[in-house]
Structure 1
């Protein structure tokens, strides 16, 4: 029987939304983690070739999708003046569903999602999809491999516009980027497994192997949402191989960090500047907000296949489920907006992303990352308090889902190079502000390289 302390700690992680399995000091011997697990069908051999890939949306799929959208059942009307208090407002959600059925240009958008070169390779039995931009390297410059990891309910498209800015933004630098942006396992055009146990830690191993296969023994990693969690694991497992990490969701899930934050309620000024105290304290308000908005997290972490049926069978249901999460994580004030603040994004942005789930039928399998990571198997690995010495730059947007002061971050990241505090932006930073996101990444890479005093032989 679990002790009361352990139970309370586990509940706290569930509330905060990011639990466990953040790495051990020797990834080859972490209990419960086999970095050679075969996740694909038995009897199939790993195809290590790098195969060009393009997304193709078949007419039969599009016709079926449009039919489902046009013939959706009438929604029960939202109550008066509830905005997004009860979730998606049924008086306003029809705008995007009608746009998807009648105004969305499937041909043009298919071309758009294919604008960057894409590839497939097989990793441990699963085909992994990724965008890869291989630059020309002018004389006097060095190539920086950069792994970009998305989250849920996002996709590799989170970085689609930011990639252009990342490429253009280094024109006057002494380096160029080779960019690799995969679909997480079970997301988009990456395969899912029918075997239990493939969570964030296992994905960290797979994506490290992917970068090695592409010829990179050392590389940078950037992540938000689940991408941040996977990056967190990578910088502990592979401290000699990750040159640096950039994250727009800096989270230290250590006992010391949570103790520090709890004690900080008594004297917040000891942890952070006065103008940032409201991002975390009163702690009661932060926890109430998390409890109110994170019901989806508990459901996906315990019963992903149930909600998976709902979002797989109806595009209206899938879009509504995603819209609620995007609304909540973009701006806290969206709670009081009848349109959920979704006008922050274009209809094409929202629908393009939805298509990356709908067309390959990956909404249900993508949700399983919650159940495969938020569990006692990962908790019992016991390495959540393991620090990382990898140089790290953290970005903190005002409407991020959780704020963590630098002193708490230092309990995990012992080489915290900088914390960039923004005056605008939310959880989906690369999607919402691609140009500024790219500038932040470029600046972080420069500072980390200077901090490490890297020479060309390291890359």
Structure 2
């Protein structure tokens, strides 16, 4: 009897282990590509039956009247009674109001006094608009001026929130100019994401990153490129990843500076790696990922905005639209603490350690002048919806060559062991001991060098 009971227990144990393994396999097995026609939708106002797409690409110029700028200056002169920061507090409670007063003063005097110069700066590259799926899509398009016969590679640069096309202004000339480190030049396309800047926002529900990925692919085709590279950070990273997943025969390579996966397999592998990090990560880079609890604490501190925008984007949008002072505090806080979390201890937020006030205000002006803060935030609601998350795109493998540039103070990192479940052709993964979330704007030369290193590898494989 005792032997029989032992045998039964053994069978039960084996059955439980087998069932658990099968459950894990079903939960983590790669998924096939979804039918791409499910991404197709008319996003403009009204009935799609009345829509006829204008496929023309039309030049666009940033041009705002003196009245618009005067109205902004008037608002900046009418500063509310901002609460004084607590004694001894810098940015720990959010944007320091003393620092905000300094920025408002600079904005309404120095910056707006030279708005013609800033407008000319923003117009230095050719801007265009075209209509895709019911929306006017704005983009910068810079063709390199090089001798005939020079190899030219198209590249799509994608920003995120609360950034804009302004993030790429310093790197564009590097990409489009001949240099000793590459035997080619890039033809650069930098779109404003739908609902950002001069790109029209959706009138229908559901404009998530996967839907934007299709629009960006169509934009590249409209311009004349069937094959191209993609670079992106923040939402641009996720959209770029999805372009490289859905259109694997069209994307030559994807270079991302915020590589992350949310699949069950990735989370489990990250958990396992936390117990033996040196087995999976070079010793000098372990602190990019672990210990896990301090990393989680930082994410909680910095992600309050995300919960708000993923649930009630229009409420916070109503508080910020047309409100330059609130808009500046809300956005510039991210450029402080997402560049380096220790900047919370600095009274000036460390904003000018890497950025100029002019560059930061250029980005604020894009949101203010276009009234797009609300539409820009809706991407959180749509992408974090139950329907979108349920599609589990991270479980779809991509063979497209991929590169991850990992900056020390990025909001979150994923170990390469986990990333390879999705990026089956992870060509390059480099760590940098400096840099944060807005790497293309903060350290353009570093991003440029890493991107060129990756593209050289891909091009030399042919």
Calculate the TM-score normalised by the size of structure 2: 0.89
**Equivalents in 1 of 2:144, 2:138: separation in Å?**
19
Structure 2 residue 222 is the aligned partner of structure 1 residue 213 = yes
Taking the aligned partners of 2:145 and 2:334, their CA distance within structure 1 comes to 39
1:178 and 1:188 map into 2 onto residues whose CA distance is 22
Q: Which residue does 1:435 correspond to in 2?
A: 445
Q: Which residue of 2 aligns with 1:383?
A: 393
Which structure has the larger Rg? Answer: 2
Q: Against the structure 1 CA distance between its residues 278 and 212, is the aligned structure 2 distance closer, same or farther, given a 3 Å change threshold?
A: same
Report the aligned-residue RMSD. 1.6
Higher normalized contact order (CA 8 Å, seq sep 6+, divided by chain length): 1
Specify which of 175, 193, 196 is matched with residue 202 of structure 2: 193
Q: Is the 8 A contact 2:57 2:130 kept in 1?
A: yes
1:24 Cα deviation after fit: 5.9
| Separation in 2, partners of 1:226, 1:85 | 26
> 1:40 offset after TM fit, Å?
4.1
Task: Name stretches of at least 5 consecutive residues in structure 1 with no aligned partner.
Answer: 1-21, 454-459
1:194-245 Cα distance to aligned partner (Å, 9 max, x none): 2111110110000000001111111100000010010111111111110000
Question: What SS is found at the alignment partner of 2:433?
Answer: coil
SS of 1:441's partner is: helix
SS in 1 for 2:186: strand
- Residue 292 of structure 1 and its aligned partner are, at CA, apart by 1.1
- Structure 1 ranges of 4+ moved more than 6 A: none
| TM-superposition CA deviations, 1:143-168 (whole Å, max 9, x none) | 21100000111100100111011122
Alignment-derived partner of residue 56 in structure 1? 63
Q: CA deviation at 1:423?
A: 2.0
Given that 2:229 and 2:251 are in contact with CA atoms closer than 8 Å, whether structure 1 keeps it comes out as: yes
Q: Mapping of 1:230-245 within 5 angstroms? A: 230-245=239-254
Contact 2:162 2:331 in 1 (8 A): yes
Query: Which ranges of structure 2 fall in alignment gaps of 5 or more residues?
Result: 1-29
What residue in structure 1 maps to residue 161 of structure 2? 152
Determine if contact 2:160/2:233 at 8 Å carries over to the other structure.
yes
Pairing partner for 2:39 from 23, 28, 34: 34
How much does 1:27 deviate? 4.3
Note if contact 1:254-1:411 (Cα within 8 Å) is conserved in structure 2. Answer: no
| Equivalent of 1:102 in 96, 109, 116 | 109
Q: 3-state SS of the aligned residue for 2:197?
A: coil
Q: Is contact 1:222-1:228 (8 Å) kept?
A: yes
**1:369, distance to aligned residue in structure 2 (A):** 0.9
CA distance in 1, matches of 2:450, 2:103: 31
The corresponding residue for 1:273 is 282
Deviation at 1:26?
Answer: 3.6
Distance (Å, rounded) in 2 between the aligned partners of 1:422 and 1:359: 35
- How many correspondences in the alignment? 428
1:294 and 1:38 map into 2 onto residues whose CA distance is 29
2:125–2:140 contact (8 Å) kept in structure 1: yes
Contact 1:166 1:438 in 2 (8 A): yes
**CA deviation profile, 1:315-334 (whole Å, cap 9, x unmatched):** 00000000111112101111
Partner of 1:293: 302
Counterpart CA distance in 2 for 1:377 and 1:85 is: 36
1:59-112, CA deviations, whole angstroms, 9 ceiling, x for partnerless residues?
121111111111111201111112111110112111111111111021100000
2:90 to 83, 87, 105: 83
